[in-house]
Amino acid sequence: MTAVYSEDTIKTLDWREHIRRRPGMYIGKLGDGSSQDDGIYVLLKEVMDNSVDEYMMGFGKKIVITIHDRRVTVRDFGRGIPLGKVVEVASKMNTGAKYDSKVFKKSVGLNGVGIKAVNALSSEFVIRSFREGEVHEARFAKGELLADEPLQPTDEPNGVAVTFVPDEEIFGHYHYVSEYIETMLKNYVFLNAGLTIEFNGQKFFSRNGLLDLLNENLSEPGLYEPIHLKNGDLEVAFTHGTHYGEEYYSFVNGQHTTQGGTHLAAFREALVKTIRDFYKKDFDAADIRASIIAAISIKIEEPVFESQTKTKLGSKNMGPDGPTVRNYVMDFLKKELDDYLHKNPATAEVMLKKILESEKERKAISSIKKIARERAKKASLHNKKLRDCRVHYNSQHDRRLETTLFITEGDSASGSITKSRDVETQAVFSLKGKPLNTYGLTKKIVYENEEFNLLQAALNIEEGLENLRYNNVVIATDADVDGMHIRLLLLTFFLQFFPDLVKQGHLYILQTPLFRVRNKKETRYCYSEEEKEKAVKELGKGGKGSVEITRFKGLGEISPDEFRHFIGKDIRLDPVRLRKDESVDEFLSFYMGKNTPDRQEFIINNLRIEEDLVEA
């Protein structure tokens, strides 16, 4: 039967309904908080951006954030919203002060949508503006105005306080990861030297801007003291290390552009040109940028981003009447970096030595690389290792944040995930047995080893993360000794050759249930002994009948119908995170290097004997 297409078919949703039905258009993906780009962090960022914009305009030197039981409060000490506009600012689309470029010349939130998205996607939302001895409070639920309180006198200093609780109907059973919030807040203070941010009693402050950011993210000292250059609208800091790959932290008007954009492309190009000109040698660009860790922050009037979540800059110009971003960055680096290298010959010598070492290694593997690329290209035509998702075939670039690649081992496990996955956004890469231990090996092995070469090609990370094909890379192995060993071997591979994949929060471990507990009416999946005991107690009480307990010994034992529960909206992912005080080299040396007495003692002290579990 053909659907009727008439006037009744055309619907106009109000702003609340539209945001709640299409949240991805406003905050990217939803998620449960296990990933740093999940929606609950975007909501916090949207509120924070308004407060930080106030500081950038010269009002309010402190922002206080508290998060308790999912309730988030952000209090700034800026000018406060004009009291007669509090309800409109929180609930009327395209309403805000940032349309007046004289007031907010270089702010992040330009379209007046952000705070409304927070309102619509929160089960509770309260906004209070303190201004000149009075306070105006408005309370909402899911975007609906519940109360518009009359003005009251107050002793509170000027500013705005926003309290919200992300709606479980939208986000499911979510949780906040403090480390992700701390990283976000540190970036805010690095980009706004002099601003103090308090989070649950912990203070963040920076005096040296991007130099502090770089030092915060260096797990090991760079080969030379970081080069720190800045003018009014552009600031850069960088050094070279010993790691593989290129690592960048790029920002526009305080917004962390995790996918880069025109400013980062300009920096990478300008760096190469300036260094070639300084040494008067036509070095390969890859050799100049190999092992770099860099941060760039730029301020632009009326920036244009490629999505509402503002993760990639699209602007070609610095402003309506300004120079191009490319020329601005090129001119700046050409003068400032060239001057710096002339004044610091010792740094210039270390940099030259590093470039020559990278050139030597690149030439040593160039012939292998060419053969490996051809091999990967041929394999992709009939690649049984990779079962890709449709997002890439359909060029749905706006859904890139939703993409996931499961790396699994064994035909049965791969088969279960392949049959259970969402073919639109989830892909599967099948390993054949245990991968090689790559600790202490050079990048040559990535091209010589067929599995690693094809995995690198599937992820498209040979030239860096800018063209990473999957936002989430998930190691999906059995929860037994062999599965744990495969996890370690894969972690070694990524940390050794692609550490930025881990540092930028793309790598995860899939949690799968250890037990299935069920009676005649209900089935529960349990991820620990504690969950199992609780389920047995609850499903077995009240005369509900006998309880059946199944212990899953491997992913291949779980049927595709059941697996859908574990990789769908209720997926449980453990993010792989590196702390600043963790040296990648020391970590890999201890766990994956030679079998030292220290490691033997560690194994003995941490040995656990798992008793056989008898099914009830």
Same domain, 339 and 413: no
Q: What is the pLDDT of residue 186?
A: 94
Q: What is the pLDDT of residue 241?
A: 93
Same domain, 34 and 55: yes
Do residues 450 and 458 lie in contact, with contact meaning Cβ atoms separated by under 8 Å?
no
Q: How far apart are CA 152 and CA 292, in angstroms?
A: 55
Angle, CA of 584, 587 and 588, to the nearest 5°: 85
- Write the CATH number for 306: 3.30.230.10
The single-letter DSSP state of residue 73 is E
What mean pLDDT comes out for the span 259-269? 93
pTM of the model: 0.77
Please choose, from the candidates 78, 250, 267, the residue with its C-alpha nearest in 3D space to the C-alpha of residue 162: 78
- Write the CATH number for 399: 3.40.50.670
Q: How far apart are CA 181 and CA 41, in angstroms?
A: 7
Across the chain, mean pLDDT equals 86
Do residues 298 and 251 lie in contact, with contact meaning Cβ atoms separated by under 8 Å?
yes
| pLDDT grade for 309, boundaries at 50, 70 and 90 | low
Question: Is 535 part of any domain?
Answer: yes
Give residues with Cβ within 8 angstroms of 535, minimum separation 6: 515, 517, 524, 526
| pLDDT digits 0-9 by tens, 184-197 | 999 999 999 899 99
The answer on pLDDT for 614 being more than 50 is no
The single-letter DSSP state of residue 261 is B
Same domain, 318 and 466: no
Domain boundary among 170, 203, 236: 203
Question: Is 459 part of any domain?
Answer: yes
Comparing 391 with 136, the larger pLDDT belongs to 136
What mean pLDDT comes out for the span 434-462? 90
Same domain, 534 and 579: no
**What's the number of domains the chain is made of?**
4
Same domain, 508 and 530: no
Comparing 541 with 580, the larger pLDDT belongs to 541
Comparing 573 with 76, the larger pLDDT belongs to 76
Same domain, 600 and 533: no
Q: What is the pLDDT of residue 64?
A: 98
Same domain, 31 and 61: yes
Q: What is the pLDDT of residue 470?
A: 93
Q: What is the pLDDT of residue 2?
A: 52
Question: Is 485 part of any domain?
Answer: yes
Q: What is the pLDDT of residue 248?
A: 92
Range of the domain at 418: 383-512+560-605
- Least confidently predicted of 130-144, 158-172, 277-291, 559-573: 559-573
- Least confidently predicted of 113-122, 288-297, 581-590: 581-590
| pLDDT grade for 101, boundaries at 50, 70 and 90 | very low
What mean pLDDT comes out for the span 336-360? 96
Residue found under tokens 């595709």: 560
Q: What is the pLDDT of residue 581?
A: 60
- The string of DSSP codes covering 528-582 is SHHHHHHHHHHHHGGG----EEEE--SGGGS-HHHHHHHSSTT-EEEE----TT-
- Least confidently predicted of 23-27, 140-144, 254-258, 391-395: 391-395
Q: What is the pLDDT of residue 607?
A: 64
Q: What is the pLDDT of residue 615?
A: 39
What mean pLDDT comes out for the span 346-372? 90
Domain boundary among 169, 186, 203: 203
| pLDDT digits 0-9 by tens, 200-223 | 999 999 999 999 999 988 878 899
Q: What is the pLDDT of residue 200?
A: 95
Same domain, 228 and 309: yes
Q: What is the pLDDT of residue 610?
A: 44
Comparing 109 with 371, the larger pLDDT belongs to 371
Give residues with Cβ within 8 angstroms of 371, minimum separation 6: 447
Comparing 61 with 320, the larger pLDDT belongs to 61
Same domain, 521 and 504: no
Q: What is the pLDDT of residue 110?
A: 44
What mean pLDDT comes out for the span 396-425? 84
The H or E element that residue 137 is part of is strand 134-141
